Amino acid sequence: MIPDDARPAPIHPAFAAPNRYLAVLAHYGRELALTLDTGRIYELALDGAVTLLGVPAALLCSRPTATAPGRVLLAQGVDLVLGEALAALSPQTTRSHITLTMIFNAERPEIAPEWRALTELLPSDAAAVAADQGLQLLLTLPVEQEQPALLHLLAPPPPLLSPDALAALRLLLGQVSVAQRNARLYLQATAWAQRLTALQTAGAEIGATLHLASVLATAVQHAVELVGAGTGVLALWNPQGRVLTAAAAAYGPALLDTGSSTAGPGDGLAGAVVRDRRLLLRTAAEGAAALPALVAVPLLWQGDLLGVLEVTDQHPTRLFSAEDQSLLMLLGQHTAGAIANARLYERAQGRLHQLTVLQDTSRAIISQLDYDTILRTVLRNVSSLLGTQMGAVYVPDERDGVIAGRAVVGVSMAGALTPLLTRRDGPIERVLQAGKTVAIYDLPTVGPPTDTALPPDVRSLLAVPLISQGRVLGALCIYAPQPRHWSPVEAELLLVFASQAAHAMQNALLFERLRAEKATLTTTITSMSDGLVVTDAGGRIILANPVADALFAVPFTTSEGANLLALLARSPYSVDYRGGDPTGDLLNVVLGQGLPYRGEIDVRGPTERTLEFSFLPVTRSSYQITGGLAVFHDITELRRVNDLKSDFLSMVSHELRTPLTSIKGFVKLVLLGEVGPVTTAQRECLEVADREADRLSRLINDLLDISRIEAGTVTFTWETLAPAPLVAEVLTVLQPQAAEVRLTLMADLPPTLPPVRGDRQRIIQILTNLLGNAIKFTPPGGAVQVSAAADGAYLRVQVADTGIGISAPALAHIFDRFYQVDSSHARAHGGTGLGLAITRQLVEGHGGTIQVTSTPGAGTTVEFTLPLAEG
């Protein structure tokens, strides 16, 4: 109610002045313009009318219809019983009167509304109540046409209504009408804004998750709430199977309007939406075939249908407004976008999962070299990725090509080999033959009708070839328990796994072959009588045989990776290199520079042994050093026999020299005629005996030399020596011998030559041997020349002749003991075949080297080196 002090005083219609009406109208007009609240508008309407007409009582009620009576909206000064009676007035009663009052809104000639007697209109009890209050007359006016209401004004007689009052009342109700319309528009706008906000919230919530099930559940719930419906269901569309399947529901079961959880295009309203791709609507039907009101909207994303959203309302009068429909369409768009996102995410997640499994598989494969374990790992991982847990790997038998099973998962080997799968021209053979993917939707439909024996749970298969280096090694096959369409993506995935498995298979096969080869090698090495150790390029042990272990009492065989020489040095036996430790770092010499080492070692353990130790670089065809091979050959026995021989020689020579010296002495005595005259014939015989004794003496000396050298008992007296005088000395001694056979014997030395370090007597012996040979094997008229030059740390000496030369095959043996190219010729010159053997030993004893080059018929050159004296 409007407080008294806030409203103008009521106007008595009999005395009102026109400007009074204006003041009242201005007041209510202002108030009406300020409000958007319907209740307040009614209040002002009622109050304004009462003030303008100065009536004691008034009532606002909703307009009655044929089916529903009017309702009291607001009353002033009206008793409850009276109010109810007025509201209950029939439409006819009010309409006839209102027809009259239409003039308020139509611009037609005015017909004044009229007061009517209450007793004529109301039941008697109500009329009596009114009469008690002094109210006998009723004036009824319509307030607003859109939201119809009636204004009943009640007054005592006489019926007063001045034209000014009527005009003012008309203006007031016009203002009320405008205010009403404004309020309604405002309410509609705010309600729409609220629904849009709700839609926005729903959209945000639907899009907040990437989990498909939550997207669907949230969407259907919001759809129902947004339009205030009863239940909702969301079905997803499968374009391959052409079927809708209910996937989420709110406030009711997950059933489509067909009553089932699935529908095809054309089934029910949802199916019709699939066909038409637009919103479809059904109004509620009552009676026996009662049907709820229903809206179904398509969920469209970039032109593709993803599903259908249905909301229903059991309420018989429920109508889904155009506004509801727009909201549902908008929500549908949101939902379709969210579904697409969730699917994209799920696909990405799936891809990620596939990659993870693939990575795990690779890791498992790398750490495994067992062929069958690898295949089982691959089968297990890929079959679970494809969601079947069943599969097999087939390989063709190498001999007869018959298909054999190599690994199975989820099925028995016998089942995997069932004839339907492995028969001629069957799916597996096709994969093996053509090297192509084979996918079979439903196996029983492709086999001969009688041959349908399949392993339990096997209905469908996808098989791809296992190809490595262009060769089909086998077939990787996955089964499914029901008919299944295999997508190209699945086939591709299987191929990726197959290529991994194929490479692993290839590696495993290679490894098996390698293992077999290594086993053969190990057996060979183990059964060898020599000690043998194989190292890598860094000298680390790869392989050794037990003989090597036994020779040094060191565990070579079980010390893979240990340094060969370090391990050798740990031998509990005393290990000495004959002729001193190897010069330089042996590993570097052999494995770094690729120079083979050969030496002898004495091993003193429980028994004493001499071993020939060869350490050889192992190279690949590219001359890259890939490792080393150490061979320990036991030459103890050889050494012993050799030593015996040397001892024997030395003993024999000594024993021979003494009698020979006295034979020679006595022959000389007889020749000199000291023991009587000697005839010419006797002299000739004695001279032969003398020469032969000389030759024998030379032989004995040579034998003694060689045996001493081999026994290692030769000692050198080191001094610094100028080469030129030594050469001159030897030439002087040999000059007569050369002259005898008309040879030119000369030296070609530079004016200064650096001194050498050596044993004077031994160097003279070397030069004498070489020059002696040159003189012996050069025909008369030839030339023999000695030349020398410093070369680095050495003096290089050459003895060249123009003699008979040495053939290439003979050259290879020239330094062997007792070797003579043409023994008769050589012996005729008093040779023993030991000269060059001794010479080489002497040169090497000095730390030098010696070599011969020769051209048969043209001459021979022997070249040797001697170390220069230091400083």
- 459 vs 817, beta carbon nearer ligand ADP: 817
- 431 vs 837, beta carbon nearer ligand ADP: 837
Q: Within 13 Å, how many C-alpha atoms sit on residue 528's CB side?
A: 20
SS3 818: coil
Minimum distance, C-beta of residue 854 to ligand ADP, in the bound complex (Å): 7
- 578 vs 695, beta carbon nearer ligand ADP: 695
Minimum distance, C-beta of residue 694 to ligand ADP, in the bound complex (Å): 14
- 43 vs 702, beta carbon nearer ligand ADP: 702
- 50 vs 774, beta carbon nearer ligand ADP: 774
- 669 vs 812, beta carbon nearer ligand ADP: 812
- 719 vs 748, beta carbon nearer ligand ADP: 748
**Which run of H or of E encompasses 836?**
helix 835-845
- 236 vs 837, beta carbon nearer ligand ADP: 837
Minimum distance, C-beta of residue 655 to ligand ADP, in the bound complex (Å): 22
C-alpha 495, offset from chain centre = 16
Q: Report which residue's Cβ sits closest to ligand ADP.
A: 831
The beta-carbon contacts of 206-212 under 8 Å, at least 24 apart in sequence, are 206/331, 206/334, 206/335, 206/338, 207/334, 207/337, 207/338, 207/341, 209/338, 209/342, 210/341, 210/342, 210/345, 210/346, 211/342, 212/339, 212/342, 212/343, 212/346
Rounded to 10°, the helix 835-845/760-776 angle is 150
- 8 A C-beta contact, residue 245 and residue 262: yes
Tokens 């060689």 belong to residue: 706
Q: Is 532 exposed, middle or buried (0-12, 13-18, 19+ CB in 10 A)?
A: buried
The beta-carbon contacts of 358-361 under 8 Å, at least 24 apart in sequence, are 358/496, 358/497, 358/500, 361/497, 361/500
- 8 A C-beta contact, residue 501 and residue 382: no
Q: How far is CA 809 from CA 813, 829, 838, 854, 860, in A?
A: 8, 22, 21, 11, 14
- 438 vs 804, beta carbon nearer ligand ADP: 804
Minimum distance, C-beta of residue 528 to ligand ADP, in the bound complex (Å): 37
Sign of the Cα pseudo-torsion (576, 578, 584, 590, in order):
negative
Minimum distance, C-beta of residue 718 to ligand ADP, in the bound complex (Å): 26
Minimum distance, C-beta of residue 855 to ligand ADP, in the bound complex (Å): 11
Binding site for ligand ADP (CB under 6 A): 773-774, 777, 801, 803-804, 806, 814, 819-822, 826, 831-837, 860
Minimum distance, C-beta of residue 711 to ligand ADP, in the bound complex (Å): 20
Minimum distance, C-beta of residue 642 to ligand ADP, in the bound complex (Å): 19
SS3 150: strand
SS3 796: strand
Minimum distance, C-beta of residue 654 to ligand ADP, in the bound complex (Å): 21
Q: What is the rounded distance in angstroms from the CA atom of residue 57 to the CA atom of residue 77?
A: 4
Q: Around Cβ 320, how many Cβ atoms within 10 Å?
A: 23
Q: How far is CA 821 from CA 431, 568, 843, 858, in A?
A: 74, 44, 22, 16
Minimum distance, C-beta of residue 595 to ligand ADP, in the bound complex (Å): 28
- 86 vs 834, beta carbon nearer ligand ADP: 834
Minimum distance, C-beta of residue 784 to ligand ADP, in the bound complex (Å): 9
Which residue in 331, 342, 337 sits closest to 232, CA to CA? 331
Dihedral over alpha carbons 400, 401, 404, 407 (to 10 degrees): 130
- 183 vs 743, beta carbon nearer ligand ADP: 743
